[in-house]
Structure 1
Amino acid sequence: MSTPQQADVVFIRAPPTTTFTNAEDPSSLTYETRTPTSHTRRVDNIFITQPGEPPIVAGWFETMVDAKMEELRAHGMAFVVRSLLTDGVQNAQSTPFVSMVARTMLDRLAKVSTKKMKRFNRTLRTGAMEDFCLHWKSDGDWRNICSTTGQHSILTLTGINKASLLGSLFSADIVTADDIGLCLSILLGHIHFDRLCAIHALLVCADDRLCKNLSALLHLQKMLRIVDPLTGLYMWGPVPHSQALIQNILATIEGWMTVQAHEREQYRPTWQPPSRAAGRRMRGGRMRNRA
């Protein structure tokens, strides 16, 4: 699929969605294509995504979560986590939906057993990180299955979807900013178009709270801005497709930093208590006036 060259609209694959269609089998995760969303909130019986998007019927979503909770009781935690991680990388549409399902399952478990909720979160987080590292580490699967090898296939996108899933799990408060920092450092280990696509996919599904690991984002900016002295082009972006991805990544990070700076400014206290020295001078003045 060709990549648009505009810096403000760049997707190397279909953008993520949060919709689903298979009502006959609630445990099956089947999807339609709609506008992407990073955040979803619930109002009454619908999930509201972004302005202009069709709402998601909450009743059906809850039915699918019910089915996953039943699988958890019947087959155990390891089975359900593996099922979620497998479903989460099937296509670009699945990553945010699986994260929503996992987040709702965690919220339900928290009402029953905090210990079980924490164990489920830890198992899911660890499994997602292990799958990501297995694919993207220096000698990982990406070397054999990527866009520049004879083994290139739909499995190439599976690796990119693993990065997308990590971003979605971060937005769902399942993986941490430090986890994402580790993922970014792994992806930066080799200059390769697929790895740039994975960085972009990860950030598309994350949000501005990633600035909690500001050092990782600043390092990413620095590495992506390295220029080839012979060509004057970004080392990571020698062709228009990759240049557009880099521009979009850098714009995303700068936008997040602006949002975070604005929030800090909003919550900065405006009142300051008088200094102790000022208090002593005031007391001395009052005593002189009394004399």
Structure 2
Amino acid sequence: MTRTKEIRGFLTKNMVVILLLLMMLFMTVMNRNFLTLSNLTNIFIEMSTYGTITMAMTIAIICGEFDLSAGATYALCSVFFLKNLDTMGIFPAILVTVLIGAAVGFVNGFLVARLDIPAFVATLGSMTYVRGIALFYTDGQPVSNANQAIYQWGNGSFLGIPNLVLTFLLFVAITECFLRFTKSGREIYAVGGSRKIAELAGINAKKSKLLIFVILGIAAGIAGVMISCRMASGSAALLGLNTSMSAISAVVVGGTSLSGGSGSAVRSLIGLLVISVLFNALTLLGIGAYYQQLIRGLVVIIIVAIDVYMSLNKKD
């Protein structure tokens, strides 16, 4: 009986890793192009931009919150960076772009932490008005920039590893260190576990909640710069439409509970790989775009249902 419990515990703890390995094995058999270096590199490049937002979303969900406006902020920051790159210069444009993301995050944090507006309502509203600002700013038209320096960086590599992937992995390491080794990180875990107990322990829960939304805004700004450097173009109408949902689903797949209080950047990285391999597999298998949308939506529902089921079982 004890042996059975140990096996069950091992499978539960490593379910995501096992799922990832099974998916990769299935795709290796189904399509010989899957396990090529170019395809695996493309998977990591594709996940690097929204993966950066996913790391920040991990911090937010650990704290018991989430942000639906991250994709819209991502789009706004991208088009702003592209439109102002030539007049400002590269580094000032990056700085101002990230500050714009931080400002959007601060507004979200103020609404949630100070005014006690539920994150769903606050960030749903932000998603709409931020996207509206981006569309107004660009007149609804795609934006492009022929700056070769940013394009070469966005499509270049260092020691054979794409620059965007290196940037993303650096963000993963920073997120993990922040959560594990800083006072603010430990406070975020405490607030996500139980806000009342955290406040009784002297933790400023409102400050923690404000901080996570600012971090999300900064991450969206960085991701906006990253995608701009890669594509040298962007559209306020199309960019980041599914980013928030993809980030949230990756975090939950990685084993971070929506109820808060647990999780890590490494877990979310594994969740990202599962989601990214799934998206890549659907494309390689020749599944149509509409069916892909259907499957992605069903995957998110199943993931959330499993998370709720496991949470209820823990309480029992």
TM-score by length of 2: 0.32
| Larger RCO (CA under 8 A, 6+ residues apart) | 2
- The structure with the larger Rg is 1
